[in-house]
Amino acid sequence: MKRSIQHEPFTVQLVETSQWSSPIHSHNHFELILIRTGSGQHVINGNRFAYQAGDVFFLGPLDSYYFVVDKMTCFCCISFTELYMSGLTTSGIHDWSQIRERGRTASQSLVSSIVTDRIEQQNLNALVEIILTEQYNYHQLVSNQIVDALMKTILSLVDRQLSQTQGLGSSTVSSSSLMERIGTYICHHITMPDHLRMEKIADVFNYSPSHLVALFKQQTGESINQYIIRYKLQLVETRLRLSTMTISQIADEFGFTDICHLNKLFKRYYLTTPTAYRRRSLAPSRVRTAYLQPSFS
């Protein structure tokens, strides 16, 4: 996996795009990403969440991610290093313990936007807008007293949101545990279509189908069917690269209706057919290096 190295202690940039161009990567800094306009999906550490305008994502150095853009999106990306954060205060008043903890581990919690309250989102965007104005007018972010003060406030807001996320009640913890158990069940039965029917899964976990569908969507940002399809396609991609199975055999193994069904779904996520993907994967390493990452990133 590619690792993005940022040499500047602090950067802010606006990116408007219809296709996320950066490959999946980890980095040496923290990132706060605000969705100003647009919609799509955010994939972080293998978990996929729907995003929309107003959502806010916070990423630590060990998190790996990419975006799947469905509707033209404007991203505001604030990147800063541990050194920059430490330099904002020498008094110890601003500890930002939740942010620092996030920097030590990759997030595995099933949460999407860290800020869901509309007023909180507006307040955060207003602070960031002033930083963007400072950058436009003065071209200096580091050692800028106004920017430093704004970033202290932003970091305190983010730290509070992370603290609230960590302190969620037992019902949320139970929901997260349920999602993990559902994920394990799907993994074990991925080649058994009858066991992956919604009615069957709901019965196994003693929920009504409608309740389980809503709960899974709330916790993960995608439906159970979307999760199953994505997982199947990841396994298909592995088969294409590492096995000699025919496309028909692979389609049959994972319960696709036929080759056309597999081709349609695979192309939606990888922007190419299984046959073309296999051909590229077998090409010399110099040619395939940039290709083997799913093109929905």
Distance CA 192, CA 172 (A): 30
Phi, psi (degrees; rounded to nearest 5) at 56: -130, 125
The mean-pLDDT minimum among 39-53, 145-159, 165-179, 221-235 falls in 165-179
Q: For residue range 46-83, list pLDDT tens digits in order.
A: 788 889 999 999 998 888 888 999 999 999 999 998 88
Query: What pLDDT is stored for residue 25 in this prediction?
Result: 60
Q: CB-based burial of residue 47 (10 Å sphere; 0-12 exposed, 13-18 middle, 19+ buried)?
A: buried
Residue of 248, 246, 243 lying closest to 260 (CA atoms): 248
Q: CB-based burial of residue 84 (10 Å sphere; 0-12 exposed, 13-18 middle, 19+ buried)?
A: buried
More confident residue, 131 or 22: 131
Q: For residue 178, is pLDDT > 50?
A: yes
The amino acid at residue 176 is: S
Query: What pLDDT is stored for residue 175 in this prediction?
Result: 58
Judged by DSSP in three states, 175 sits in helix
pTM for the model: 0.56
Residue 24 near residue 66, CB atoms below 8 Å:
yes
What average pLDDT does the structure give for the chain?
82
Query: What pLDDT is stored for residue 285 in this prediction?
Result: 45
Residue 93 near residue 67, CB atoms below 8 Å:
no
User: Looking up tokens 């406030």, which residue turns up?
Assistant: 153
Q: For residue 232, is pLDDT > 80?
A: yes
Query: What pLDDT is stored for residue 133 in this prediction?
Result: 93
Query: What pLDDT is stored for residue 293 in this prediction?
Result: 43
More confident residue, 169 or 58: 58
Query: What pLDDT is stored for residue 291 in this prediction?
Result: 40
The residue extents of the domains of the chain are 2-166, 171-288
The amino acid at residue 283 is: A
Q: Confidence band (pLDDT; 50, 70, 90) for 139?
A: confident
Judged by DSSP in three states, 104 sits in coil
Q: Confidence band (pLDDT; 50, 70, 90) for 195?
A: very high
Q: For residue range 115-125, list pLDDT tens digits in order.
A: 888 888 999 99
Query: What pLDDT is stored for residue 15 in this prediction?
Result: 92
Q: For residue range 3-31, list pLDDT tens digits in order.
A: 555 668 899 999 999 988 876 766 778 99
Query: What percent of the chain has a predicted confidence (pLDDT) above 90?
Result: 39
The amino acid at residue 26 is: S
Q: For residue 297, is pLDDT > 60?
A: no
Q: For residue 171, is pLDDT > 50?
A: no
Pairing of strands 47-52, 2-4: unpaired
The class of domain 2-166 in CATH terms is: mainly beta
Q: Confidence band (pLDDT; 50, 70, 90) for 174?
A: low
Rounded mean pLDDT of 256-270? Answer: 92
Q: For residue range 82-93, list pLDDT tens digits in order.
A: 888 888 875 555
Residue of 47, 85, 4 lying closest to 183 (CA atoms): 47
The CATH T-level fold of domain 171-288 is Arc Repressor Mutant, subunit A (1.10.10)
User: What is the dihedral angle through the alpha carbons of 138, 142, 143, 147, rounded to the nearest 10 degrees?
Assistant: 70
Q: Confidence band (pLDDT; 50, 70, 90) for 169?
A: very low
Distance CA 290, CA 281 (A): 10
Residue 110 near residue 179, CB atoms below 8 Å:
yes
Q: For residue 165, is pLDDT > 70?
A: no
Query: What pLDDT is stored for residue 13 in this prediction?
Result: 92
